[in-house]
Chain A
C-alpha cells in the first residue's frame, strides 16, 4: 500500500498461457482460410442474406413477445409471480435444436400432429420455421433485460403523465418505453446473436445460414471453405458485439415501480394469453418426445451415449474450473489480470461450429490429437471457460470488502482467514461455475459433431444422427434426458439468484 508494488504474480504466468490458448482458434482460422479459393461469391450472398433475415426476424419476434411479457411480469400483480417468471423464462434453458427437431417432426403432412389428431398442419421449416423456433427460445433475453429495466423505473413519471391527463396505454408508450428502449435493444441483440451462432435449428429446418453451411462444407472436405465462412461469420459476430457495446443501458436510481391489480377475470385472461408461448416452446416438444417414448419404448437407446456425454462434460467442467481459478485470481490482482480475463471471453463470441472447424484443422496438423477426447474437451473448455471465470469471479468480488480484514482483526491468521472466509466464499462460485459448464457441454451439439472421436456418440450427437436417418422415434430418451438436464441448469441458475445476468451473458453467443 505504501509503495506501488509492481510484481508479476504466478497467477499471471498461468493466465497468460490460457489467454494465448483462447486466441488459438482465430489464428488457425486465418491460416486455414488463406488457402480458400473464393473469398465471396453469389452463394455467400445467399447465405449472408438468409442469416441476416433470420437475425432480423428473431430480434423482432423476440421483442414482440418479450416486451409485453416483461410488462406483465413486472407491473401486473399476478398470483404465483415467481412461478410464471420461471416458466416463461425456461425456454432460455432449453437448446433450441430440441424445439427444431420436434417441430420438424410434428408439423406438415405425415407429421406427428396429423398422425395423432388427423389434422394436416402446414410444415414448419426454412426461414419461417427457423425464425419461429428462434423466437420461441430467445424471447426470454428480451423479457429479462426489459424486466430488469422496468423494475428499476420509478412510477412517479407515469403518475405525472396520468395526472396531466394522459391515459394509461399512451403513458406507457410515451413515458415508460422510451426509457427502456436500450434495454429492449440489448435483449434483442442477444436474441439476434443467438440466432446468428446457433447451428442445430437452421440445420434441422433446412435453412442455409453460415452455421449450417459450414457443416455442409466440412462434410464435403472443404475445410478451407468452411474456415472462410467461419471468418465471415465471426465478422458478423464482431459487428453485433460492437453494436451491443454501444447500446448503453442507463441506470436510473431505483424507485417503487408501477403495480396494477387486475380483477379475477382479467388475471385469468392475461395468464391465458401467455399460454401459447409456453405450449409451443415447452409442452409440445415434451409431448412429442413422450409420445415417441410411449410408442417406441427404450429399446434403441444405448446407455453409453449418456455416459459418454457425462464423462466428456465432467472432464470439461474440471479443466474449465482449473483454468478459471488462476484467471479469476489474476483478475483481482491488477489491470493486466483483468485484461487477460477479458480476453478469454473471446470463447463466448465463437460459435460452436466455428470452434469445431478451427480445432478439426488443429487436429489434422497434430495427428496425435486428431479424433481424441483431449481435443474435444479443449474445444469445450475454450468455448465455455468464460462461464466458469464469470461465476468464480463474481464470487471473489464479494470478498473485495473488508471480510478478510474482519477475520484478521478477530484474530485469525492469514491461513485461517483463507480457509474459513476466502475459500468457502469462492467455493460456491467454483461449484456453480463447474456445474454450469457441465450442463452446457451436455447439450453442446456442433463442436461435438465435428470433434467427437469415432464411435464416441453423445446424447446430442445421437439426436442429430437420428434426425439425419429419419428414425425420429429413437430421439425420445436423449430428448427427454436433455430436457431434464436443462431443467437442472435452470434450477442452478435460480438458486444462484443471478438468473437474469448470468443467462444473458451465457447465452449471448451460442
Chain B
C-alpha cells in the first residue's frame, strides 16, 4: 500500500503538484486523469524517486520518502512503464525483460502471457509500437515490483491498438496482483480501465472516486465536463426541496442538497430522451451520427440541450419534439454560475 501525504512539488517557483493526498490499496488500479500540464506525470516521477519533492511524504510498507530523506529509485521496488517505452536499444527483447533478473522464470512467464515468444531475440527498434509497449510491460512486471506506475502508456499508439492493449494491460496487472497508478489524459481510458479515478487540475486533486461516481456525481463543473458531455440546466429548488426544471417540465424531490433557490442541474445526454411531438416545445437543431448512437441538439427557447438516442431514432431537422428526463440515480446540482 502506498500513502501520499501532503505532497507538493515545485519547479523553481511554479507549483506543479499542490498538497496531494491519496492512498493506493493493494491490488487496485488508480487512474490519474487531467488535462495536459496538470502535474500527473510529475506525481509519477516523484513516486519513482526520479525527482525530489518539495514537501510532504510518500509512505510504503518498506520505506518512507520525504523532503529530507530521498529514497533512490532502485531502492523503492517500483515498476514504471514509460510513454516512450524506454526499451534498451542495445539489448534484445529477452535481455530487456530480464534486465536485472538472475533467473528467467518470471521473464518467461510474462513473455508467454503477453505473447512475445516470437520476438525474444529481436532488438526493440524492429518492433511495432504495440509490441514495444508489451515488452515494456513484461519487463516491468517480470521484476516483480511492489507497485507499478504507468505514464500515458498508450498515448504513442494507434487508436485501433489502444482499446485492446488497454485491456491487456489491465488484466496483466490483475494477474500479477500488483497495484498501479496509471496516468492518462484520455477520459474514456480512465473511466473504462480504472478501479478508481482521480481527476487532477493544475496540480490539485479535484475528485477521487469510483469511475461511476466521478461520472455521475462530479464534485464540480470541471470534473463533470472533463469526463463527458454535459447539459447544465437552469432549475430551481423550492423551500419544500422540490427541484423543478421549468423549460422541460422536470420535477423531483432532492433530499440532501444544501442548495436552494436558483441552481444548475447536471444532465448527461444519455439522461434525456426525445420524442417527436407536434405540440412539443423543442425543435431539432442538429444531429450527429455516432454509429451506435445519435447525438441531437434540441433547441428549447434559447437553450441547446444535448440528447443521445439510439441510432435508429431518426428525427428531421426542425421537427418539433418533446424531452423527457429518464434519470434513475441521485441527481447532481451545482450553484448557479
Contact = CB atoms under 8 A, between A and B. Distances in A.
A3 B50 contact: no
A2 B74 contact: no
Interface stretch (A194-202, A316-324, A401-409, A461-469): A401-409
A493 interface: no
A149 to B, nearest CB: 24
Interface stretch (A20-28, A67-75, A410-418): A410-418
A247 interface: no
**Which residue of A403, A410, A420 has the most chain B CB atoms within 10 A of its CB atom?**
A410
B60 to A, nearest CB: 14
A281 B40 CA distance: 59
A425 B82 contact: no
Interface residues of B, number: 29
A420 B91 CA distance: 10
Given A403-B86, A425-B90, A408 B12 contact: no
Contact of B86 (A3, A401, A412, A414): A401
Contacts of A412: 74, 99-100
Contact of A407 (B12, B90, B99): B99
B48 to A, nearest CB: 5
Contact of B74 (A3, A408, A420, A428): A408
B10 A2 contact: yes
Interface string B117-146: 000000000000000000000011001000
A178 interface: no
Nearest to A403: B86
A413 B74 CA distance: 6
A424 interface: yes
A413 B80 CA distance: 16
A481 interface: no
A398 interface: yes
A421 interface: yes
B177 to A, nearest CB: 19
Interface in A1-17: 1-4
A403 B10 contact: no
Interface string A62-92: 0000000000000000000000000000000
Contacts of A421: 88
Contacts of B72: 408, 413-414
A59 B50 CA distance: 52
B65 interface: no
**Which residue of A3, A398, A402, A412 has the most chain B CB atoms within 10 A of its CB atom?**
A402
A398 B87 CA distance: 11
A2 B54 contact: yes
Contacts of A3: 12
A164 B88 CA distance: 49
Given A1-B51, A410-B143, A413-B74, A405 B80 contact: yes
A255 B88 CA distance: 28
A425 B89 CA distance: 8
Given A405-B50, A412-B74, A2 B99 contact: no
B52 A424 contact: no
B271 interface: no
B153 to A, nearest CB: 12
Contacts of A420: 99
A4 B87 CA distance: 29
A2 B87 CA distance: 27
B129 to A, nearest CB: 15
Given A1-B51, A408-B73, A424 B90 contact: yes
B48 A401 contact: no
B104 to A, nearest CB: 15
Contact of B11 (A1, A406, A408, A424): A1
Contact of B52 (A1, A402, A403, A414): A1
Contacts of B39: none
B84 A398 contact: no
B99 A410 contact: yes
Interface in B69-127: 72-74, 76-80, 82, 84, 86-90, 99-100
B79 to A, nearest CB: 7
Contacts of A407: 88, 99
Contact of A410 (B84, B90, B100): B100
Closest 4 CB pairs of A and B: A406-B86, A408-B73, A402-B86, A409-B80
21 contacts: A2-B51, A4-B12, A401-B82, A401-B84, A401-B86, A402-B82, A405-B48, A405-B50, A406-B88, A408-B73, A408-B74, A409-B74, A409-B78, A409-B80, A410-B79, A410-B139, A410-B143, A412-B74, A412-B100, A413-B72, A413-B74
